[in-house]
Structure 1
Amino acid sequence: MTESKNPPLTPELYAYVLEHNPPLDPVQRELVDFTHTRFADDAGLQTAQEQGPLLSFLVRLVGARRIVEVGTFTGFSTLSMALALPEDGRIIACDISEEWTAVGREAWAKAGVADRVDLRIAPALDTLRALPDDEPWIDLSFLDADKENYPLYWEELVRRTRPGGLLVADNTLLHGSVVTDTNSDGRAAAMRAFNELVLTDERVEAVLLTVADGVTLARRTGA
């Protein structure tokens, strides 16, 4: 029998979780609040607050120095990872919006990490395909962009990820629609296909976690 141990995530419990995670620094806090005020209709695109400390933790855990991010929005996830990088670490951040990423640029500069972020405004697939591919070099990647293209992004990232490197994919439960939306096309179908792709990809070992809207962590093996 399948049985969940997850308690209902009430506002009170969510507040408790945030209180018992590493606190956001002032620039992170300001960026989160500004995004929800300035881009209220799109604020759901921002990485969940508890994922900021998680991403920082993962950067330090794998000793990442070379990161690729697909989907930057206003730069909260980028900032969270950049703050955890050593001074010579770099993030290639892929997005198509000058407006949204301009907010991120200001935050990165205010936090003193702008020199660690290489923002590339272009279709992410074009950016990824232009990256070096002579040998695996990515330490960590964070995928949080248009869901229909996840499989294409995945392929470009996996083959450039070093053995032991980490791939992080966000929204892999898609608000539960991966099981509630049974249509054969659309975002839910695309995410189901992506989750099956990861599950059967022999180049990685992966886990899908019920963090925020679903987070998949995949470790590149030597295969």
Structure 2
Amino acid sequence: MTDSSVRAIVGLGNPGAEYEYTRHNAGFWFVDQLAEAYRADFRVESKFQGVTARIRIGGSDLLLLKPATFMNRSGQAVQALASFYKFAPEQILVAHDELDLPAGAARLKLGGGHGGHNGLRSVHQHLGENYARLRIGIGHPGNKDLVLDYVLGRPSQADLRAIEDALIRSQAALEMLVTQSWSKASQLLHTDPEKMAAKKEKGPPPEKKPT
């Protein structure tokens, strides 16, 4: 992925107050955070089947989209946006909740499968698999039969704080992706924050004296 290649950030989630604070809406949380940080207002865009906002990072204009189609039809809104602006799949970053990562973790990924995620499955159907993703960890209930209730439930206070920390790091990574490179953004986001803090606290290694 080349520098500043991302042109749109799509947050996946379900519309409506009953879903607003559920784990499945972590993608919505991320684009809401971006809109607040950059003082952008969402507006209804019927042709994109959702709400959109515009932000500017480091001289680059980015579109934010929250589909209003419900999770399992998210691809309709993403395809409409991509077709209208003629965005290539790799120019679209899809932010979504990720069961396979613990709460507090977040990862960037380009391409690959949908992993059973209904929102990603829909995007695959309409856009193919070569789009970028921001995987926001929400943890796993430990039993696949509990997944539906889990993703549509609210996280614990501890998990919510961890997810919020991950969203802050994700915003910093996005800014680095746009202004510098995908590799530097990935390195920033994928580094364990506890290890980073411990390294800073420990300080640099002592200088070796010449022998």
TM-score, normalised to structure 1, is 0.29
- Looking at both structures, which has the greater relative contact order when contacts are Cα pairs under 8 Å and sequence separation is at least 6? 2
Point out the structure with max Rg over C-alpha: 2
